[in-house]
Amino acid sequence: MQANRYHHLGWHHGIELFEAAFSHQTFGRHAHEGFAIGAIAEGAGGYVCRGETMVLPAGTLSLMNPEEPHTGHAAADRVRYTMLYASEAAVRAVLGLRHLRGFATIAPRDRGSRLGRALAHLAHCLNAPPGPDWRLAAEEAAHRALALAFGQYGRAELRPAGDEPAAIRAVRARIAAGVAAGEALTLAELAAGVGLNPSYLIRSMRRATGLTPHAHVLQARIGHARRLLLEGVPAAEAAVAAGFCDQAHLIRQFRRHLGVTPGALLRH
């Protein structure tokens, strides 16, 4: 059985993620200082909250507002869920919101399993081996989960993606320079460099190019590694120079994006 894991992102507004899997553990009556946003992936969880006893089966969300007292337990043989904790200040900073209403419903169904998948992806990013873009991937994953939670269930009005050609050109140039120099890049740095809120930058960049900043960074690293390989640099050296964790990481990304391994890249 998977052990419980608790991730604290001290560098990203103190956001936390709890990966829970248990059968007999119970939580006494308590409340969280910030929002608690979770998705039941397996089994069923149970609450006593707002004077009601609730059973949350798989496919159900758990959306708690700050200082909402509740208990917690497994309501089946086993429960597995992922829960994101974020203060009001963190939500405002990540999403660029002035007005924050909170959640009206505690346990809605997860429409299309979108939020559950977003939380699972954040957990995947946080459990991945540290690399140059580890923080960038985690920042974007946290943004995705919060944007879905508050956009779909918290009545938040996110600023629509805008037309920002100059800013996007500047971000892409910064990414290219950073990758060539072997630098680690973060969403906060890229957004600050063009004077935009990170959330707004993600939405505007995706609208204009179809890719998020992290996807652009990964694409730039693959392109840089490809150029080095064509120059005759050994794959292991090219992987490190392009910012991949190791040669195996480079091979996986080559297969995913180019359909071949580095060894299948032939010069004529």
pLDDT of 61-116, one tens digit each? 999 999 999 999 888 888 999 999 999 999 999 999 988 999 999 999 999 999 99
Domain that holds residue 30: 5-130
Residues 125 and 171 in one domain: no
**Chain segment 235-256, per-residue pLDDT in tens:** 999 999 998 888 998 999 999 8
Note whether 21 and 122 are same-domain residues: yes
Within-domain flag for 138 = no
53 and 125 inside one domain: yes
225 and 112 fall within a common domain: no
pLDDT value of residue 51 = 83
- Amino acid identity at 58: A
pTM exceeds cut of 0.85: yes
Distances (CA, A) of 268 to 219, 236, 258: 24, 22, 18
Let me know whether 20 and 68 are in one domain.
Answer: yes
Q: At what angle do helices 198-209 and 165-180 cross, to 10 degrees?
A: 100
Encode pLDDT of 207-228 as tens digits: 999 999 999 999 999 999 999 9
Residues 100 and 211 occupy one common structural domain:
no
| The pLDDT value given to residue 2 | 62
pLDDT tens, residue by residue, 14-73: 999 999 998 888 889 999 999 999 999 999 999 988 888 889 999 999 999 999 999 998
Residue 256 lies in a domain: yes
Q: How far, in Å, CA of 187 to CA of 137, rounded?
A: 9
Please check whether residue 145 lies inside any domain of the structure. no
Average pLDDT (154-161) is 91
Amino acid, res. 86:
A
Task: Give the number of domains in the chain.
Answer: 2
Q: Quote the mean pLDDT of the chain.
A: 93
Backbone angles phi, psi at 83, to 5 degrees: -130, 125
Question: Do the domain assignments include residue 108?
Answer: yes
pLDDT of residue 236: 93
Q: 120 and 226, same structural domain?
A: no
> Tell me, what's the pLDDT at 52?
85
Does any domain span residue 242?
yes
Contacting residues for 45 by C-beta, under 8 A, at least 6 apart: 55, 56, 60, 62, 72, 73, 74, 75, 79, 81
* Model pLDDT, residue 146: 98
The answer on 176 and 124 residing in a single domain is no
